[in-house]
Structure 1
Amino acid sequence: MSGYDNNPFAAPDSDNPFNDPSVTQMTNSSIDPVEQYSPFPATDGLATQTAPGTTSPYQPAVLQPSTDPSPQVTAAAAQANLLRQQEELERKAAELDRREQELQSRGATGKANNWPPLPKSFPIKPCFYQDFAEEIPPEYQRVCKMMYYLWMLNCVTLFLNLLASLAFFTTGASHGVDFGLSILWLVLFAPCSFLCWYRPVYKAFKTDSSFSFFFFFFVFFCQVVIFIIQSVGIPSWGNSGWITAFTAISANKAVGAIMIIVAILFTMCAVLSVILLKMVHSMYRRTGASFQKAQQEFSQGVFTSKTFQTAAASAASSAAQGAFQANN
């Protein structure tokens, strides 16, 4: 009859979810459900071990000390940089000076100067470059060399004139003026004749320059006149010419003979200068040079000269400043 004790209207046991054995076990257990739950299931051999924490590849931020240099360090670095730049500039300036001196020693031709031919140990260096075979056309070399020999003869004659005037001075104190002027003529005419008529004719033959030809003709004509005056020998003019030589021979024959030799040399210089002047003029007429070309060369040389350009710029600047001040 037990089967009839149950409530026929009750729901069957299988339909009640709370009658599930797992549920009833949990509800009847005395263990706290929170303590019982473990999110990390135990595994064999690893349940009692503590897993070490993984090392992160990123380190925690650490405050670094400031690396900005102090004002003293910055000033020292700037001063060292300025000193280094100054040394570099001084080195470059010295190099430029050395190159400029080399260019000056080589001259406008770009070759080392060879005249006057002085020893390398001599403190004075050559000032000019001269080579007849290289720079002078063959048809002009003979005349150009003769002009050079005439200049050398003039220098030797001026030196002998100094000695003759000194000997003449020994015969009488009144002849001291001739001796003093003879020193002046040697010091003045020897270098000036080289620069004023020999170098211009050398340049004229070298570059066929009309301006150099005209400059040579003007100066050399004056030189011919000077040769004639020296050969005449006007007293108290410092020249041992014919008049002075005949005056001295009456007082001292030896001194007179020396002065006659000098008078002969002065006469030779005068005659050769006239002959060479005619030869150069005939060659000049065959070169096609003219006065118009000389004017063009002179104007081009002046306008391209750095000295002229500097002077013109200074004059223009001064004029502009004066006009500005006048307007104010």
Structure 2
Amino acid sequence: MSKYTTFPDATDDHNPFQDPSVTQHSSNTGYATLDLYNPFDNNTVGPPPPYEATSPAAPPPALTPTNRTTPTEPRNYGSNGTQSAVNATTADLLRKQEELERKAKELERRERELDAHALGSGASRQNNWPPLPSFCPVGPCFYQDINLEISQNFQRTVTTMYYYWMFTACTLLFNFISSLAMFCVDTTGSGVGLGLAILWAILFTPCSFVCWYRPVYKAFRSDSSFNFFAFFFVFFAQLVVYVITTIGIPGWGFSGWIVSLAALKVNKVVAVIMILNSVLFTGQTAMGVVLLKRVHSMYRKTGASFEKAQAEFATGVLSNQAVRQAATNATVSAAQGAFTGAR
């Protein structure tokens, strides 16, 4: 029993798998294993089959990650809240950039204006309107530059007024064409209307530019209360004339609705032309009312008043050299008359 109770030395490296019985069993190829021999199979006759070593199974193929992020692909490290904050920051930066660009344009315009005024009070700008060719014996009469002289807040309104004036001029020209067409089919009763149509086109086109477009241009250019009141007075009178042109009183030289509908009895083709002219007159009147209300609303925001208009008028009259010379001459004449009468 001593051999079973003694412990191996610490220096003895005992391996239980190196036991002779184990090694003899593992090296015996004639012994069947459970995965090859079934002892409960009745059809098996004779000794169990010899042991056959199975070939090791092939290792599974290595799996490559499908969602591998490359350095060039964008990575989303945040949640939806972080992405929304980034989008809001980007929109805020774009808005600030647009505001800075707008201010830069305004500063550039102001700088050009200051450079123009730096030439001195005696220096005058070269007129550029109307844009006549160089060979024309008559030169431009006015200087006009909406982008330079008008503040950015009012540029759209002044530009709209300029296009509206051009529309009224084209409508008067078309009124002359429709009156000429009516005169061609009815020479007896349309001669006066044709003559007046020519007169209105020649008279209203330049007068409307000088009497109401230039005042509204100068009003927005220098915030002039006097020019605002001049525009309102003249433009309201112009709207009354537009209403008359839309009605089309016979013999007045306007191809309005009454004259156009009456032309259906004379010639339908000419009547269609005149009805189209009536539609233009109607649109002209409606647009005039809308623009008058727009200018009036902007006038109220500028701080203009009737007292300022009176002060500007008095200042302009006193600063006019011709008026001062006439007043001086009148004063001298009155003094000489009084002195002569006293003698």
Q: TM-score, normalised by structure 1?
A: 0.66
Q: Are residues 1:209 and 2:224 paired?
A: yes
5+ unaligned residues in a row in structure 2: which ranges? Answer: 1-120
Number of the residue aligned with 2:321: 306
Q: Are residues 1:148 and 2:162 paired?
A: yes
Q: Are residues 1:255 and 2:235 paired?
A: no
Distance 1:174 1:232 in 2: 19
- C-alpha deviation, 1:108, in angstroms: 8.3
Number of the residue aligned with 1:124: 138
Q: Which runs of 4+ in 1 moved over 6 A?
A: none
Number of the residue aligned with 1:169: 183
Aligned mate of 1:219, from 210, 234, 246: 234
- Where in structure 2 are the equivalents of 1:307-322 lying within 5 Å? 307-322=322-337
Distance 2:323 2:128 in 1: 29
Aligned mate of 2:261, from 246, 262, 275: 246
Number of the residue aligned with 1:282: 297
Distance 1:267 1:310 in 2: 47
Distance 1:126 1:209 in 2: 24
Change (3 A) 1:158 1:304: same
- C-alpha deviation, 1:109, in angstroms: 7.4
Distance 2:202 2:124 in 1: 30
Distance 2:280 2:322 in 1: 41
1:77-134 CA distances to partner (integer Å, 9 max, x unpaired)? xxxxxxxxxxxxxxxxxxxxxxxxxxxxxx9872211111111121110111111111
Change (3 A) 1:108 1:179: farther
**Higher alpha-carbon Rg:** 1
Distance 2:247 2:334 in 1: 53
Once the two structures are overlaid, the 10-residue window that deviates more, 307-316 or 193-202, is: 307-316
AA aligned to 2:137 is: P
Distance 1:120 1:169 in 2: 37
Number of the residue aligned with 1:272: 287
Q: Quick one: percent identity of the two aligned structures? A: 54
- C-alpha deviation, 1:308, in angstroms: 1.1
Q: Are residues 1:112 and 2:126 paired?
A: yes
Distance 1:120 1:109 in 2: 22
Number of the residue aligned with 1:136: 150
User: Aligned-pair RMSD on alpha carbons?
Assistant: 1.3
- C-alpha deviation, 1:190, in angstroms: 0.4
Distance 2:207 2:133 in 1: 23
1:23-80 CA distances to partner (integer Å, 9 max, x unpaired)? xxxxxxxxxxxxxxxxxxxxxxxxxxxxxxxxxxxxxxxxxxxxxxxxxxxxxxxxxx
Helix, strand or coil: the match of 1:126?
coil
Q: TM-score, normalised by structure 2?
A: 0.63
5+ unaligned residues in a row in structure 1: which ranges? Answer: 1-106
Number of the residue aligned with 2:43: none
Helix, strand or coil: the match of 2:124?
coil
Helix, strand or coil: the match of 2:190?
helix
Number of the residue aligned with 1:31: none
Distance 2:303 2:255 in 1: 41
Higher helix share: 1
AA aligned to 1:280 is: V
Helix, strand or coil: the match of 2:309?
helix
- C-alpha deviation, 1:231, in angstroms: 0.9
Corresponding pairs, count: 222
Helix, strand or coil: the match of 2:153?
helix
